[in-house]
């Protein structure tokens, strides 16, 4: 953890220097690629020692595939090799290290690199191996028309801005950033002239970086004060279970889940700030004419904490992983896209049994929540008091449902998970099944594909 923080803080300083002294107007694309790659490799070795060899082995294996495999199969071979290697590393953590989280846990960077490898392979397949009319609008926009050079490939996968904590980004966005076209490209996408600008603006990320660093600092303080004092393991402590009534256990479950979040808020927000400091992450202009730097944001804390539905909660948590799952699996699956996306999400996270308890429980609660919303919500929209009451109740239920669902994700093993569910009387499982049995299935007033996409998003949890 100390190495992680030290690397990210040094990466933040390097990112500012990179944006000022190695900007596209001061340095060539090759120099920017080389600097980003070399510093990324250094950070990986510093943080993970000899374990970093796993990152480099996977990167080079897939570079060989990208250059030797036929275009119709490049995305398949890349996917199998990347996910296979990642899964072997996940297995080693259980059967070799006996559920231990290594002091130099390299699985996080390996998971991000796996996302990037499969993303690039799919987008390369779209750009060279498919006709434009076969692609969706998003696939056409992100399609890669030529195989990247070795330097471009290494820079995309190993750059110092994302090697430690991500997030995954699209290859075309990254190359546009390195070549100095990133901001202009995003402004064109949002028709910047219609936002009141008469000439091409030059947005600065400084304000966004400072804000995200403030969020990072608050998250760090909360982590140091709350996370250590409210461990998830205490909720299955025998003495606690014997002396604490059910409703109090529910309340404590909410507290310990809240206490577990600052770690993720800290890591993801700091990673976002590092990318922004380098000048990467600009996403355009909002309806008020404000520059946005959330292209790589991985979460929306306000929407998470105020979510009144399971769907809203998940859509704002680990956003870039949700986008990756959609682009490499859901949009390409020939059949059962929702089920296959659930499976991929689980495999990507690892093979700890607790992860699968979380995903299976999440499926059940997602279906029940959708049934309640489709059958009942319209009755509460006729007046403001009813709508407020509905929002309050759904907020409470959503927050407790999320806590109930993610507890096994933290506990990891089977025994503590079963003990936890027994202490909770399996109440969310039982209520969800009753809802599905009692309420009719009503289709949403949208296209068939979109509800499936929403179900896919509800499958995603973060490490």
pLDDT in tens, the chain (463 residues): 788 889 999 999 999 999 999 999 999 999 999 999 999 999 999 998 888 999 999 999 999 999 999 999 999 999 999 999 999 998 887 776 654 544 457 889 999 999 999 999 999 999 999 998 899 999 999 999 999 999 999 999 999 999 999 899 999 999 999 999 988 888 876 665 555 555 667 789 999 999 999 999 999 999 999 888 898 889 999 999 999 999 999 999 999 999 999 999 999 999 999 999 999 999 988 878 789 999 999 999 999 999 998 889 988 999 999 999 999 999 998 888 877 887 899 899 998 889 989 988 988 998 898 898 888 888 888 889 999 999 999 999 999 999 999 999 999 889 999 999 999 999 999 999 999 999 876 665 443 344 344 444 444 444 4
In angstroms, the CA 402 to CA 176 distance is 38
Q: Where are the domains of the chain?
A: 2-180, 206-278, 299-463
Residues 205 and 279 sit within 8 Å (Cβ to Cβ): yes
| Residue 103: predicted pLDDT | 47
pLDDT at residue 220, rounded to an integer:
94
Question: What tokens does 247 get?
Answer: 């409703």
3-state secondary structure of 291: strand
For 243-246, which contacts have Cβ atoms below 8 Å and span 24 or more sequence positions? 246/424, 246/425
Cα dist from 48 to 108, 126, 163, 254, whole Å = 11, 34, 11, 34
Residue 137 to residue 148: CA distance in whole angstroms? 22
Q: Which of 277, 124, 284, 257 is nearest to 213 (CA)?
A: 277
**Unique residue bearing structure tokens 């003495």:** 239
Q: What is the pLDDT of residue 366?
A: 86
Catalytic position from the list 349, 375, 429, 453: 349
pLDDT at 3: 81
d(CA 192, CA 184): 9
Q: Which residues of 209-242 are buried (b: 16+ CB within 10 A; e: fewer)?
A: beebbebbeebbebbeebbeebebeebbeeeeee
As a dihedral over the C-alpha atoms of residue 308, residue 258, residue 210, residue 48, rounded to 10 degrees, the angle is -120
> Within 13 Å, how many C-alpha atoms sit on residue 460's CB side?
26
Query: Kind of pairing, strands 284-285 and 291-292?
Result: antiparallel
Nearest by Cα to 8 from 184, 216, 186, 200: 216
Within 8 A by CB and 6+ apart from 448, the residues are none
What's the confidence (pLDDT) of residue 455? Answer: 42
* Options 62, 275, 316, 318, the catalytic residue: 318
Does residue 318 have an active-site annotation? yes
Question: pTM surpassing 0.75?
Answer: yes
The strand pairing partners of 284, in sequence order, are 292
**pLDDT score recorded for residue 185:** 82
Distances (CA, A) of 330 to 82, 323, 361, 396: 18, 10, 20, 31
Give yes or no: 349 in active site: yes
């Amino acid at each position: 953890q100390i190495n992680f923080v030290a690397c990210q803080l040094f990466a933040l300083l390097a990112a500012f220097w990179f944006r000022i002294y190695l900007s596209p107007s001061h340095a060539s694309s090759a120099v920017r690629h080389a600097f980003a790659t070399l510093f990324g490799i250094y950070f990986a070795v510093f943080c993970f020692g000899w374990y970093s060899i796993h990152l480099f082995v996977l990167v080079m294996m897939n570079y060989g595939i990208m250059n030797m495999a036929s275009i119709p199969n490049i995305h398949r071979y890349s996917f199998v090799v990347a996910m296979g290697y990642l899964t072997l590393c996940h297995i080693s953590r259980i059967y070799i290290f006996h559920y231990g989280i290594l002091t130099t846990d390299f699985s996080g960077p390996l998971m991000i690199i796996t996302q990037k490898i499969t993303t690039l392979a799919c987008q390369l397949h779209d750009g060279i191996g498919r006709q434009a009319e076969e692609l969706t609008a998003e696939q056409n926009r992100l399609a890669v028309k030529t195989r990247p050079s070795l330097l471009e490939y290494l820079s995309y996968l190993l750059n110092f801005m994302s090697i430690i904590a991500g997030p995954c980004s699209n290859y075309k966005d990254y190359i546009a950033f390195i070549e100095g076209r990133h901001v202009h490209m995003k402004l064109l996408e949002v028709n910047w002239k219609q936002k009141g600008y008469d000439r091409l603006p030059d947005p600065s990320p400084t304000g966004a970086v400072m804000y995200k660093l403030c969020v990072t600092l608050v998250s760090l303080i909360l982590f140091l004060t709350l996370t250590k004092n409210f461990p998830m393991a205490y909720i299955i402590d025998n003495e606690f279970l014997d002396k604490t009534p059910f409703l109090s256990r529910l309340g404590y479950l909410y507290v310990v889940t809240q206490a577990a979040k600052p770690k993720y808020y800290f890591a993801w927000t700091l990673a976002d700030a590092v990318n922004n400091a380098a000048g990467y992450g600009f996403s355009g202009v909002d309806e008020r004419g404000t520059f946005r730097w959330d292209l790589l944001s991985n979460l929306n804390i306000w929407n998470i904490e105020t979510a009144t539905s399971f769907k809203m909660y998940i859509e704002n948590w680990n956003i870039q992983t949700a986008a990756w799952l959609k682009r490499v699996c859901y949009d390409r699956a020939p059949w059962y896209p929702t089920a296959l996306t659930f499976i991929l999400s689980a495999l990507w996270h690892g093979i700890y049994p607790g992860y699968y308890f979380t995903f299976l429980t999440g499926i059940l609660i997602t279906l029940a929540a959708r049934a309640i919303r489709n059958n009942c919500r319209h009755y509460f929209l006729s007046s403001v008091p009813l709508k407020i009451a509905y929002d309050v109740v759904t907020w409470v239920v959503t927050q407790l449902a999320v806590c109930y669902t993610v507890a096994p994700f933290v506990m990891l093993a089977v025994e503590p998970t079963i003990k936890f569910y027994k202490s909770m009387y399996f109440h969310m499982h039982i209520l969800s099944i009753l809802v599905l049995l009692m309420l009719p299935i009503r289709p949403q007033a949208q296209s068939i594909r979109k509800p499936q996409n929403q179900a896919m998003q509800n499958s995603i949890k973060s490490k």
